[in-house]
Amino acid sequence: MRHFILYLILFILLSTGIAKSQVSAKDTPLVLEELFDKLVGNYNDSERIRINDSIRIILDSYVKSDTVFTHRFTNLRYLGQIMSPDSLLKIITWNLVLENEPGRYFCYFIRKQESGKENKIFRLSVSYNENPVKTDTTYTESNWYGALYYDLKPYIIDNRRCWVLLGIDYGNSFFSRKIIEVLSFSPEDSIVFGRKWFSSGDEIKYRDIFEYASNAMMSLRFRSDNSIVFDHLVPFSPSHKDDPQYYGPDYSFDAYNYENGLWKLTINVDARN
């Protein structure tokens, strides 16, 4: 198996024009670093897709390794790698930007199994989608909307384990989205996105979506295990109140606080510290 991986890395190095005189398993992080640098370089779409295919081959072997939960790549700024505090779920994500067709999201969910069993691996990929992300339904692997997840926390509700995810979506050309999502697994061990859990007045949503101008910046973060704090978004002018591409932070903050089995929205909180 080790010799196969070495030959695989050598093939990728040669096919992408970054071959070294010596190839070993320890070269894998350097190979990925160079591939990701090339991925965001000045290449045409077909070349970027070819480079991305090489990245996928390497990462597909990596997520099946015994050390995936104890190892983390460094110096890979374009690769998202997050681990849940309970050490039962790891998420690896990245996106492929293309010029003449929609970009794409790639995501691995690696779920740790009982001792002696192989980890469960879910491989998701989808093209950028400008359609709205719904807040009144669940999603599955087959209709995943696509996002880059950058933080998560575990919870056990009704004897069922789930994770709250924070993510960002660049799939719309006019505005950006940030997302509070819930990930769980069905009794059949398939992915379920969403839980009717987020209360904002009379409405209880499966997730919350924040849409704002693509040139603006919005913060969305866990303040504690029971609090998620985020920028309050407002239109740049009253005439743009229905158009998210003209929304941005007003330097006040709102929060979802976990109370009595629900994440409840609170407007205008003190987000210092």
In a domain, 200, yes or no: yes
- Number of domains the chain contains: 1
What is the domain range of residue 194?
Answer: 129-273
Q: Is 131 exposed, middle or buried (0-12, 13-18, 19+ CB in 10 A)?
A: exposed
Whole-prediction pTM: 0.89
In a domain, 165, yes or no: yes
Q: What is the pLDDT along the chain (273 residues), one digit of tens a residue?
A: 444 444 454 454 445 554 433 334 567 899 999 999 999 888 899 999 999 999 999 999 999 998 999 999 998 999 999 999 999 999 999 999 999 999 999 999 999 988 778 999 999 999 998 899 999 999 999 999 999 999 999 999 988 999 999 999 998 888 999 999 999 999 999 999 999 999 988 899 999 999 999 999 999 999 999 999 999 999 998 888 889 999 999 999 999 999 999 999 999 998 765
Residue 197's contacts (CB-CB under 8 Å, 6 or more residues apart) are 182, 204, 205, 206, 262, 263
Which pair of structure tokens corresponds to residue 84?
Answer: 């849940």
DSSP assigned state of 238: G
In a domain, 66, yes or no: no
In a domain, 192, yes or no: yes
Nearest of 34, 32, 97 to residue 61 by alpha carbon:
32
